[in-house]
Amino acid sequence: MAAERPITDDRHLDGNALAGPLSMLFVPDIATSTGRCGSCGRGDLLARAPLYAQAPGQVLRCRHCGNVVLRLVSAPDMFWLDLPHGSGLAIPHTAPADVSRDVSRGS
């Protein structure tokens, strides 16, 4: 069990900065989903969680215990996305009409 290390430094951004790349993969409002930390079990809006973006990938951490909630690596031809250690995302519904139109457009 990892020790709890609440995030208090000032080297991170807000998860809101993930909205751009994640919107390529999910619904536009993905940053308003709630992330649950797989380590301490607490939840927080993805947009508010501390994001370490100055790295080979973007690393979103739990503000309460410091563990990794989400990793996104953007390669020229591929994204890698994972929610390690049993972390999860609760993603709000969008209007089904919007979603189906996006899919049919295939953008």
Nearest distance from C-beta of residue 85 to another protein, angstroms: 10
Residue 10 in contact with another protein, rule: CB under 8 A: yes
Contacts of 12 (CB under 8 A, 6+ apart): 50, 51, 52, 53, 61
Question: 């930390």: which residue's tokens?
Answer: 37
Residue 7 in contact with another protein, rule: CB under 8 A: yes
Residue 61 in contact with another protein, rule: CB under 8 A: yes
Nearest distance from C-beta of residue 15 to another protein, angstroms: 8
Mapped onto helix, strand or coil, the DSSP state of residue 81 is: strand
Residue 34 in contact with another protein, rule: CB under 8 A: no
Residue 91 in contact with another protein, rule: CB under 8 A: no
Q: How crowded is the C-beta side of 95, counted as CA atoms within 13 Å?
A: 3
